[in-house]
Amino acid sequence: MSKNDDKSRAQVIFRKWRDLLASRDRTFDNVYDNFADLWYDMYKASVSHETAYTFLDEASAVHLPTREQIKRTYTYKKSALYKSEKEFMDSWIAGIKAKATEAFYEYYPLEEHIEMDKPVEKQPAGGLTRTQLRQQRQYLEQFPILTFDEAKAKYQEIENDFSQEKLDKLMKELLDDEDK
């Protein structure tokens, strides 16, 4: 499949999405879903990551509200906002672009398209370095590994020894008190 076929397929999908966008709910709660539909259709049509990425800015621009819509919304919500009209417009536009990018990377994950120079070494659990982990294992290996029954027997033995020592001590104290 050539790059031109990929690009033309993506253009057809984008035009269809753009035309249908006029009849869709474009409120902020639905922005992500609108973009997700576009990226899903491109992904389903096997459009490459590189080709789909070229449509990210254009798709964001198509979804942006007009200046009049921003002004009308700002006037309506002005009392609840603590922003200037410019700050409100910038945050609205940034929010739409962020949702477009988020939806894009949902269908075209970045990890699949980055070639690493060297493999990333996974860090062992607990945030320890390999040396620290090896030292920890060596320390733990010096202790015997017991089954549940062996551990229970050792516990009973320790408990019995403690009780016997305590009794011996009490007996000695009692005998010493009688001698006085």
Q: What is the pLDDT of residues 82-92, one digit of tens each?
A: 788 888 888 88
- pLDDT score at 25: 83
List the one residue out of 105, 6, 91 whose CA is nearest residue 56.
105
The residue type of 136 is Q
* pLDDT value at residue 132: 82
Taken as a whole, the chain contains a residue count of: 180
- Whether residue 12 has pLDDT greater than 90: yes
Residue 118 has pLDDT above 70, yes or no: no
Alpha carbons 180 and 79: distance in angstroms, whole number: 91
Lowest mean pLDDT among 6-20, 96-110, 147-161: 147-161
* One-letter-per-residue 3-state SS of the chain: CCHHHHHHHHHHHHHHHHHHHCCCCCCHHHHHHHHHHHHHHHHHCCCCHHHHHCCHHHHHHHHCCCHHHHHHHHHHHHHHCCCCHHHHHHHHHHHHHHHHHHHHHHHCCHHHHCCCCCCCCCCCHHHCCHHHHHHHHHHHHCCCCCCHHHHHHHHHHHHHHHHHHHHHHHHHHHHHHHHC
CA 138 to chain centre: 34
Six-digit token pair at 78? 């002005």
The alpha carbon torsion through 57, 61, 62, 66 (nearest 10 deg) reads: 170
Whole-number Å distance between alpha carbons of 119 and 130: 16
On the question of pLDDT at 20 being above 80, the answer is yes
Q: Is the dihedral of CA 33, 58, 91, 49 positive or negative?
A: positive
The pLDDT of residue 26 is: 80
